[in-house]
Amino acid sequence: MKPIASIALLLCLVSFSAMAEESPKVLPQPAAEPPKILQPAPEPLKTAEPPKLAEPSQAQQPVKIGYVDLSKIATDSAPGKAASAKMKEKTEKYRSQIAARQKKLENMKKDIEAKLPSLTPQQRQAKVKELEKKVGEYQKYVQDAEKAMRKTEGELTESMSKAIQKAADDYGKANGFAVIVPKRDLLYLGDKVDVKDVTDDILKSIR
C-alpha cells in the first residue's frame, strides 16, 4: 500500500471515531409507572348524637279493680236460687227417708225387747242379728245419702262458679278492669288503685 493512501485511511478512521464520541448518548428512560387506581374518598366521620333525655312520663292511670260479694250472688242470682232450691229439695227428701227408717228401727227394737222374755235363746239371738242387719242397712243408707248430697252440692257449686267466671270475664274486658276478685280477698289497696263493687253488675249478666 502506498503511504499516502495509508495516511488517508488512518485519518478517516480517526474522524469516524471522533464523530462517534461526539454523538449524544441515549440515556435509558425510567420504566413507566402503572396507572393508579382511584380510591374512593373517605366518608366524613359521623359524630355520635348525644343521648336524648327521657321526657317526664305522664301521670300513671290508676289500676281498675272490681270485687264481688259471692254470698249475695249465690242468694240473689237466678242460678244461685235454682241451686239452693234443688239442694233444699234433695235434703228434705233424704231427711224424710232417714227419719222413716229410723222410726222403723226403733219400733223393731221395742218389739224385740217386749218379746224377749218369751223367746228361747236361739230366737233371741236370731232377733238380735236381724236388728243388727237393719241397723247396718240404715247406716249405709245415711252414708250414701251424705255422699249423694256432697256430689250434688259440688256439681251445683262448679256450675255456679263457671257462670260467675264467665260474667266477670265479659264485664271486666268490656269495662277495662285489670282484675275482678271476691270481696273477701281485698286485704290492702294502695293509692293508685280504682276499686269498684261490681256485684250488682255481675248479677245482671249471670244467666
- Long-range Cβ contact pairs of 113-121 (< 8 A, separation 24 or more): none
**What type of residue is 50?**
P
Residues making up the chain, counted from first to last? 207
Structure confidence at residue 52 (pLDDT): 58
184 pLDDT higher than 70: yes
93 pLDDT higher than 80: yes
How many angstroms separate the Cα of 73 from the Cα of each of 84, 90, 141, 151?
12, 22, 34, 21
The closest alpha carbon to 202, from 162, 172, 157, 159, belongs to 172
Separation between Cα atoms, residue 169 and residue 198, nearest integer Å: 12
Structure confidence at residue 137 (pLDDT): 96
User: Scanning the structure block, which residue is given the C-alpha cell 478512521?
Assistant: 13
**Mean pLDDT for all residues in the chain:** 79
